[in-house]
A and B are shown apart, each in its own frame.
Chain A
């Protein structure tokens, strides 16, 4: 506050007649004089503020009571969506206005009725100064001396070694168990892998897995696949299989029939499609979302998560977006009755890239 006295010395060049003895910088003028509120001098206004505050507290009380009444009056045992909505609304309004009323009233109380003159408190530097630091150093030195660790490197090493090793007996079992069998080679295979002696309901000749509709799990006749429509496919019998979700997460496939003339097929994949029907993994090669959108005009598949776009007619290669690799293709054929089956597993891991992918 003593700063206030300096202010008269500056900014009045006419008084002292020259710029020569002015200070380098302005000085802090100190606190502004306090402006009092109307309520500080007029008891009527203060009384009105008090009534306002009481009124707001009253709203809070009423809202809380209303919320409690609503809890008991509105049943949610009967299957009635309206009651669920009403219960949520009444409880929300009761809790919300009950809390809000307390808050608004308390803040208004502080603003209108509590003393609002600003007060000043001194700060002190965080450090208590070099003398105290010196004492601290000395204490540390004395403590270290009393511990008798100086010139005992073996003891220090033993402490360090023990401290470093002991936590491992906690951490290694914890982390070691988290990954179960750690067999990441599972990434490379899907439920489409041909088997021996499989159920003929699920496997053609007990060997090659039938394609089935997701989620009906019924086999798909090639003749029923209409032109330029997308079909969501799972391996036949998958829902009954163990680890259903893990297998489904890798094995889902999209089936599209396009005009065979449009298909640009490499010679080695010529036998992978059937009569213009192609099957590609539904799992995006970017970070693994299901590539669920098909654009009929352009024959593009679009991943709704990050918009990687794949061209169905050109081996599902990437035409836009953050994915690098084409969607893996599932080689398919039809049995004697015209049902589609997979002649082999994907020839590469499906889904996002990982370090050991090409190994």
Chain B
């Protein structure tokens, strides 16, 4: 023991590489928790740089802001549904002497009589909106660039779970002030829960401790909102970040980037400054928003009263798709079967449809892996155009989501644009089926067209706008060939082909086992990869250059014929 500590101390003191306080601290920690090897492993770890990698950081930082502002709020909020009268001498004047729950009274009181109380409430609400928004956009980035592929499927599921938890956090937090809007939100939740077959009525009792609204729901939501859900999110954040470190970050395709390396800047100092600084930027922007932009001024709505509702009310944006889904559904499919009521007009939009949407999101990495049968690790991201079917599926999914968002504000659309509410609703009822198909087809065409454009640029270079005339009177435009670094971005990707499986029956007419599943897999695979554009090969570029192109390419006007002849799509 004495030997190691002596040698440790001498190493720290004799060596003037870092200032003494630093070496002293590191030495102290190293001898107790092995800090030196942690620093060795982490300090100069390389992370790739791209603006889209900031999206997940925004989510993380707005979560930290949520925790900080939330701690402030819990000091002054009273999670109780006991009836009180708002003090006669407190602001705002409109609430003086009104009967209300303690939850509502404490929310209003902290807004007017706690310095910074209103600021923290507004920061908390804006941060919640930004938290979910940045998670969703981060997830879209991960989806469209294929960052979910092996080995990151599990981390994708961790992120997916955090998204679901954040929706629950939003729902429970929105209910706490006990104002008219949040009470109606809870009432809608109650109606949805009751529609669940067999156990729905009992689940409603479970949530409210009896009939709606009861006196239990706000203390219960409070515990979920400030303890259980953030605790789970925090644990998943830790796991998510650990896996990002452990597996190293993905990188965008580019010269020098491969699946076997990571190109970027070291954690210390570049990302300590950039990512650390970005936390302060997110916090600063949210604090400015909280300081100058009013949100959820609950005293304007008043305390919850089950007889009141306001027209044009909207839930927070991340719940809007559910609201829209409820609004779109026609009322007919409610049935009474053998005396039991099956309320499909609520169950389908509020439970089945979101269930399908989220199942698609959660299962997608596994679906794609099944159709590619790709066993390799992927650390270089896809350009969305190069995975036409995935990109189109994602765009179609988004179009459904956007239709639901618009449906959730159909009353505002009607009043702002002077349109018939019923006509809007009917149009959206049609669009929710038609639009994803149209969006899928158009997106796929755009992706394939962009791939063809890449081929053309690689083969013939960039247009320069310089038109020249040859001695014999011919005009041509000068094309600037790509350098090898730019070209690599357009030709470096892998193109999957549909799976080819052995015939279902062998030479003797005996059926192979597992034929049905394989057939499904093959047809899925064909759906994914039948249409494709192969990247340009060295042979093709040589042929194109030999075809009358000099080093500074002097092309004939267009080469549409060449494209198809060099094996564009397989169809």
Q: How far is the CB of B251 from chain A (nearest CB, A)?
A: 10
| Alpha-carbon distance between A76 and B119 when the two chains are bound, in angstroms | 13
Query: What sequence of 0s and 1s flags, for each residue 518-562 of chain B, a beta carbon within 8 Å of any chain A beta carbon?
Result: 000000000000000001111101110110000000000000000
Whether A103 and B283, one on each chain, are in contact in the complex, defined by CB atoms closer than 8 angstroms, is yes
Q: Which residues of chain B from 265 to 315 have any CB-CB distance to chain A below 8 Å in the complex?
A: 265-266, 269-270, 273-274, 276-292, 304-313
Q: Is A13 an interface residue (CB 8 A)?
A: yes
Whether B202 and A286, one on each chain, are in contact in the complex, defined by CB atoms closer than 8 angstroms, is no
Whether B346 and A287, one on each chain, are in contact in the complex, defined by CB atoms closer than 8 angstroms, is yes
Q: Is B454 an interface residue (CB 8 A)?
A: no
* Contact count band on A: 35 or more
Whether A103 and B537, one on each chain, are in contact in the complex, defined by CB atoms closer than 8 angstroms, is no
Whether A23 and B538, one on each chain, are in contact in the complex, defined by CB atoms closer than 8 angstroms, is yes
Q: Is B200 an interface residue (CB 8 A)?
A: yes
| Alpha-carbon distance between A318 and B199 when the two chains are bound, in angstroms | 27
Q: Which residues of chain A from 183 to 236 have any CB-CB distance to chain B below 8 Å in the complex?
A: 184, 186-187, 214-215, 232, 234
The interface-forming segment of B22-30, B188-196, B228-236 is B188-196
Whether A93 and B211, one on each chain, are in contact in the complex, defined by CB atoms closer than 8 angstroms, is no
Residues of A within 8 A of B479 (CB): none
Residues of A within 8 A of B513 (CB): none
Q: How far is the CB of A220 from chain B (nearest CB, A)?
A: 15
Residues of B within 8 A of A71 (CB): 115-116
Whether B195 and A354, one on each chain, are in contact in the complex, defined by CB atoms closer than 8 angstroms, is yes
Q: Is A337 an interface residue (CB 8 A)?
A: no
Q: Is A266 an interface residue (CB 8 A)?
A: no
Whether A95 and B291, one on each chain, are in contact in the complex, defined by CB atoms closer than 8 angstroms, is yes
Whether A32 and B546, one on each chain, are in contact in the complex, defined by CB atoms closer than 8 angstroms, is no
Q: A22-B542, A31-B256, A92-B290 are in contact. Are A287 and B206 (CB under 8 A)?
A: no
Query: What sequence of 0s and 1s flags, for each residue 291-310 of chain A, a beta carbon within 8 Å of any chain B beta carbon?
Result: 01100000000001111100
Residues of A within 8 A of B187 (CB): 249, 287-289
Number of interface residues of B (CB under 8 A): 132
Q: A114-B270, A232-B307 are in contact. Are A84 and B537 (CB under 8 A)?
A: no
Q: Is B355 an interface residue (CB 8 A)?
A: no
The interface-forming segment of B10-18, B138-146, B387-395, B483-491 is B483-491
From B112, B206, B269, A179 is in contact (CB under 8 Å) with: B206
Q: Is B198 an interface residue (CB 8 A)?
A: yes
Q: Is A36 an interface residue (CB 8 A)?
A: no
Q: Is B248 an interface residue (CB 8 A)?
A: yes
Q: A81-B91, A119-B46 are in contact. Are A107 and B288 (CB under 8 A)?
A: no
Q: A119-B46, A119-B264, A322-B327 are in contact. Are A107 and B274 (CB under 8 A)?
A: yes
| Alpha-carbon distance between A248 and B191 when the two chains are bound, in angstroms | 16
Residues of A within 8 A of B113 (CB): 76-77
| Alpha-carbon distance between A143 and B410 when the two chains are bound, in angstroms | 63
Minimum CB distance partner of A178 in chain B: B206
| Alpha-carbon distance between A80 and B115 when the two chains are bound, in angstroms | 13
Q: A76-B115, A120-B263, A293-B311 are in contact. Are A246 and B213 (CB under 8 A)?
A: yes
Interface centre among A81, A106, A119, A287 (most CB of B within 10 A): A287
Q: Which residues of chain A from 76 to 119 have any CB-CB distance to chain B below 8 Å in the complex?
A: 76-77, 79-81, 84, 87-93, 95-107, 109-111, 114-116, 118-119
From A109, A250, A288, B273 is in contact (CB under 8 Å) with: A109
| Alpha-carbon distance between A192 and B273 when the two chains are bound, in angstroms | 67
Q: Which residues of chain A from 261 to 316 have any CB-CB distance to chain B below 8 Å in the complex?
A: 282, 286-290, 292-293, 304-308
Whether A320 and B202, one on each chain, are in contact in the complex, defined by CB atoms closer than 8 angstroms, is no
Residues of A within 8 A of B258 (CB): 28
Whether A103 and B284, one on each chain, are in contact in the complex, defined by CB atoms closer than 8 angstroms, is yes
Whether A304 and B273, one on each chain, are in contact in the complex, defined by CB atoms closer than 8 angstroms, is no
The interface-forming segment of A42-50, A122-130, A151-159, A338-346 is A122-130
From A87, A110, A234, B277 is in contact (CB under 8 Å) with: A110
Minimum CB distance partner of A77 in chain B: B113
List 13 additional contacts besides A84-B118, A120-B263, A321-B327; criterion CB under 8 Å. Answer: A10-B538, A79-B91, A84-B112, A100-B283, A120-B262, A181-B210, A246-B210, A304-B411, A305-B184, A307-B411, A323-B331, A354-B200, A355-B200
Q: Which 3 pairs show the lowest CB-CB distances between chains A and B?
A: A92-B291, A287-B191, A100-B284
Q: A residues bordering B, Cβ < 8 Å?
A: 1, 3, 7, 10-11, 13-14, 19, 22-26, 28-32, 71, 74, 76-77, 79-81, 84, 87-93, 95-107, 109-111, 114-116, 118-123, 125-126, 175, 178-182, 184, 186-187, 214-215, 232, 234, 243, 245-246, 248-250, 252, 282, 286-290, 292-293, 304-308, 318, 320-325, 351-359
